[in-house]
Chain A
Amino acid sequence: MNKLITFTALVLASSIAHATDFPSKTISLVVPFAAGGPTDTVARSIAVPLGKALGQTVVVENKTGAGGTVAAAAVAKSAADGHTLLITHNGMATAPALYRKLAFNPQADFEMLGLTVNVPMTLLAKKAIPANTLPELITYIKANKDKIALGHAGLGAVSHLCGVMFQQAIGVDLLTVPFQGTAPAMTNLIGGQIDLLCDQRGHREALRRDHQKPDRRAARHANLVRARPERLRHDGVAWHLRTQGHA
């Protein structure tokens, strides 16, 4: 099996650091996105073992805004003593193309620390769309391209990038609707206000868990999820879309 796309390889970066007495105080781990999202979850999960390994407390700070660039700019300008770290994702690679005026240089203003985890992406369609496989979904989208709204979790979010890549892959230009994060985008997908959403698979897993709860809302989630388990894949040359079988 080809490797799943590394859309959300979460990365740790810090300002250039050359202190001799490191760490001398609490370390701040800055998350450029809202609490409760995938990046935040990774940050909070790694903060404890990271603090243990460094012998200092690691405090997670959420600093949202402008697709993660507000946080990155703040960390780039912080004291270069290694006490301010940034955990982010592919947004660091798309920011120079998305923002004509960027207050930092992703490649020059940080010392890279390493890639942490990779969160695969899933494409979800609202329940009312009469397609059960990816080819059916693509046919439907092409036939109804003027009526379909693709939601995403905000400009600069991986969800946004995924949506852009999906449209390029199948050759359509859909109406796109930005939300302030994955949670409101998902709510609007379930409510039917938007038709499509591409986001981290973790959310799909969460929806599957919700299905275990015997309430009607959860059943709607489950239908949505079970019917559309396709994933986006990338083999380095062209985009491939493949049905992964039902969850």
Chain B
Amino acid sequence: VQAKISAAMQASLKDPEFIKKMKDLAAEIEPANRQTPEAHKAWLASETTRLGAVIKAAGQYAD
């Protein structure tokens, strides 16, 4: 199921109407090699480490 939704998502990112709307938002479509579940997982892990350090350095909590 994960593979099926991811494939549908990747196809959606090629939809001309979607591309046009993202251009209006000044958003850039991620390159194909970042649209995969594996890349997403690796990205979340590295961002959690990188941005977690930034938040901790600021000493801020939301709760």
Measured CB to CB, the residues of A under 8 A from B are 4, 6, 8-14, 17-19, 22, 38, 41-42, 45-46, 48-50, 52-54, 66-67, 81-82, 85, 90, 92-94, 96-101, 106-107, 111-120, 155-156, 161, 164-165, 167-168, 200-202, 204-205
Q: Which residues of B contact A116 (CB under 8 A)?
A: 9, 13, 29-30, 35
Is A67 in contact with B6, judged by CB distance below 8 angstroms? Answer: no
Provide the B21-63 mask, 1 if CB < 8 A to any CB of A, else 0.
1101111111000111111110111011011111111101111
Is B63 in contact with A93, judged by CB distance below 8 angstroms? Answer: no
Given contacts A82-B5, A94-B48, A98-B61, 14 further A-B contacts (CB under 8 A): A11-B43, A17-B2, A49-B11, A49-B17, A54-B4, A82-B1, A92-B47, A94-B51, A111-B2, A113-B37, A114-B35, A114-B39, A117-B25, A161-B55
Q: Which residues of B contact A99 (CB under 8 A)?
A: 61-63
Is B63 in contact with A90, judged by CB distance below 8 angstroms? Answer: no
Is A45 in contact with B18, judged by CB distance below 8 angstroms? Answer: yes
Is B9 in contact with A164, judged by CB distance below 8 angstroms? Answer: no
Is A113 in contact with B48, judged by CB distance below 8 angstroms? Answer: no
Q: A45-B22, A50-B12 are in contact. Are A93 and B4 (CB under 8 A)?
A: no
Q: A98-B62, A119-B26, A155-B62 are in contact. Are A92 and B52 (CB under 8 A)?
A: no
